[in-house]
A and B are shown apart, each in its own frame.
Chain A
Amino acid sequence: MSLLEIRNLSLSLGPTRILRDLSLDIAPGEILALTGESGSGKSMTALATMGLLPPGARTSGRIRLNGTDLLSLSEARMCDQRGNTLGMVFQEPMTALNPVQTIGQQVAETLHLTRRSDPSMTPARVQALLHETLARVGLPPDRVPPTRYPHELSGGQRQRVVIAMAIIRRPALLIADEPTTALDVTTQAQILDLLRRLVQDNAMGLMMITHDLAVVGQMADRIAVLRAGEIVEQGPTHDVFAQRRHPYTRALFDASRHRADLHPVALQSPLLQVRNVSRDYPVKRSGLFQRRRSFPALSDISFDLRRGERLGLVGESGSGKSTLTRAILGLDPVSSGTITLAGTAVRTNTPSTRRHMQAVFQDPYSSFNPRHRVSRLISEPFHLLDNAPTGAARDAAVAEVLSAVNLSPSDADKYIHAFSGGQRQRIAIARALIIRPDLILFDEAVSALDVRVRAQILDLIADLSRRYNLSYLFISHDLSVVRGITDRVMVMQAGKIVEQGPTEQVLGAPRHPYTQSLIAAAPRLPDPATGGFDAARPAV
């Protein structure tokens, strides 16, 4: 008998239909992955099951958990179900915890709430359960005291706290909404492992929502593929991956494996030269009379990027990628060492080098001023030039770059809210291209995009690199993306470059233990022919 049974669930928010006729089952001890692109209704399915839909949502159909129809329960009865038989883990561990309460208070809160109705919940038993649960999620109280506040923990530790909160009352069903999307690969591997273990130990059902097919392949017993509120295909993971009956599943799968077609280039003279660059940040004094210490965010970084080269930079959060990016762009000073671009030293506040460099950032939603038209957004870098085109020449330049990124010149008069995430990232690339810089920095430029859109943007970058002979530095935490779009790659750990070389060689046969651990931790896509994992294939 299934634990969760969703039948013909339809959901609309105002005039918008979010879910249509959705049916799925989860058995005890089973992991069902709900996958699809953003806006396909994955999270809404989870919120509908939790009874936490936004106001104004209308539902029809049935959601039964252990035979109880959740949709017909009163709000008070639903509160009893949440936390008790239903638990949920969210995507963003940095904001999912209350900053002013200790983690122990937050994890044990639901137990304290049941104390009135359940006399067996004595304070001593609450403490014992709290310690046991924290230890189970890998936060043993002797090493991570429950009196800590969330800001004193790392992202991975916070996600463990969120999981502890969700499982402390041993729910029958756990819903995890993109639980590892905000985490580094090695942390992701640990959290996925923890979730799998909890499912086994508690015979708990797990609804795992993720856009990442590699994670799906590694975790799920069964998959449901969601598109625009409808399940287009569902079945055992192996079968779905092997057969890929629906065109949409095929498209998602292909996009996940997509490698852009990079044309071979003849490398020329060095363009960007980074020599012995270090950057220290002062650390707060631990006591009034202690010596002020500093934290080395970058230590002794040296590398060259030659004209026409497509160089990758990978590493986990905190490895110094952003500090290096900011230093190259001249946004932050370095403590020692030199950075030169085409022979000119890069310093802060010098537009002379900045006109030769542009950047494309991660978030297509917050990196544009919403009150400017696209033409103004794109032509903004012109202020770096001494004789910037004006009038018709400027409009022609805008139209040309818009066409170059496969948008229409008529888009110049629109505002940014009229565009999707992928289109916005095209606009960001157009903005970087318009002054024909020598070097473009792509800082996690495709990380926020859905797989199919990501594949298109990667193709666009490859295409532009051929047409404009671009040199770029592509910074990403995602090894599989870097593999498809760069000739050479550098791996960064704790402010140092620990390994560099041709991309295929570094990612195919890594020598440094850190690179090896990154590659081992990255989830792998199943082999398309068999739907299973091919051990001979490289991991990314």
Chain B
Amino acid sequence: MLRYFLSRLTSLAISLLVASVVIFLVVEVAPGDPASYMLGLNAQPDTLAALRTELGLDVPKPERYVDWVTGMLSGDFGMSYTYRTPVAQMVADRLWVSLPLALLALSLAVLIAFPAGLFAASRRGRPGDIGVMAATQLGIALPNFWFAMLLVMVFAISLRWFGAGGFPGWAEPVAALRALTLPAVALALPQAAILTRVLRSALLDTLDEDYIRTARAKGLSRRQALWRHALRNALIPVLTIIGLQFSFLLAGAIIIEQVFFLPGLGRLIFQSISQRDLIVVESVVMLLVFAVILVNFLVDLAYGAVDPRLRSRA
């Protein structure tokens, strides 16, 4: 397992290095002047020159890359051009909303999907299975903002159990969790539907395997064979999807953030793109890339924990 861990860790480090070079090249070295792009068509020449100096565009490129990377490593992401505040602080504030929201939504999705998937797979072709499949079809087809509006109407406006939007900050943990509940549910439902279907079909594939028949022949009931032998073998595709979903939820919640007035990463990216604040965009993109690579690393480790063949192949 240690060798598997080290080999995955090496690949994580290499991916990060390559990603940082690619992002740097795309944003900084691509043809066109970032400063004039950020300031628009009617920029004054002296403002442009000032911004160039501020962005460090007058320094040679390799040096700029090293500065950028070492800056990030020490927590210095530069200053936002629009807001004149450190990018690190802005991103950290938003991350404190987006990260808990993504984790909450993903946990909810897993909590819904596992029982639903196991239930459907154990009743292949019977009414229970057909019911679950119809529900997941609906969950995938309906957009999550529609769920969000529905949830606001029922639980915020009619029942008044939750607020309709806004975020009070983590100084009041209970209020903060309450503010994230409805958005997390709205985000989780479509993901749960996808995950249910993936788990069900992975389980059904596994249930056709010879070793399930062996398990049945030695006296396990259908249910025992499903839990003891099929579930773990069906986890690989499910883990892959969970990894993808987490990356998506971290930055892809922009519509839900908009519906619930949440100050999350999605809205930050949207605002900085519309304000052409390249420094923020660059930093957030690097952060997201880092998150995706880290999640993939964790998913790889989970694969290794689930399947001994992968460990020994490393």
Contacts and interface: CB of A to CB of B under 8 A. Distances in A.
Contacts of B306: 100
Contacts of B309: 99, 149, 151
Interface stretch (B33-41, B104-112, B213-221, B245-253): B213-221
A83 B209 contact: no
B218 A110 contact: yes
Contacts of A101: 229, 232
A274 interface: no
Interface in B222-252: 222, 224, 228-229, 232-233
A100 B209 CA distance: 13
Interface residues of A, number: 30
A97 B307 contact: no
Given A100-B308, A109-B228, A152-B312, A95 B211 contact: yes
A113 B218 CA distance: 11
B210 interface: yes
Interface stretch (A26-34, A86-94, A346-354): A86-94
Nearest to A165: B218
Contacts of A95: 209-211
Interface in A411-436: none
Contacts of B215: 98, 109
A110 B211 contact: no
Given A96-B210, A96-B211, A109-B228, A88 B217 contact: yes
A166 B215 CA distance: 10
Contacts of A81: 219
A75 interface: yes
Nearest to A51: B216
Given A95-B209, A98-B229, A109-B228, A50 B308 contact: no
Contacts of A52: 213, 216-217
A92 B308 contact: no
A268 B306 CA distance: 59
Contacts of B229: 98, 101
A92 B228 CA distance: 21
Nearest to B232: A100
B221 A79 contact: yes
B228 to A, nearest CB: 7
Contacts of B214: 90, 96-98, 162, 165
A266 interface: no
Contact of B219 (A82, A96, A97, A151): A82
A98 B220 CA distance: 14
A504 interface: no
A98 B219 contact: no
Nearest to B308: A149
A205 to B, nearest CB: 16
B218 A98 contact: no
14 contacts: A52-B217, A79-B221, A83-B219, A95-B210, A96-B210, A98-B215, A98-B229, A99-B233, A100-B232, A101-B232, A110-B218, A151-B309, A151-B312, A166-B218
Interchain residue pairs A-B with the least CB separation, the first 10? A83-B219, A83-B218, A95-B210, A88-B217, A82-B219, A98-B211, A149-B308, A96-B214, A96-B210, A110-B218
Given A82-B216, A83-B218, A100-B307, 5 more contacts: A80-B219, A96-B214, A149-B309, A149-B312, A151-B309
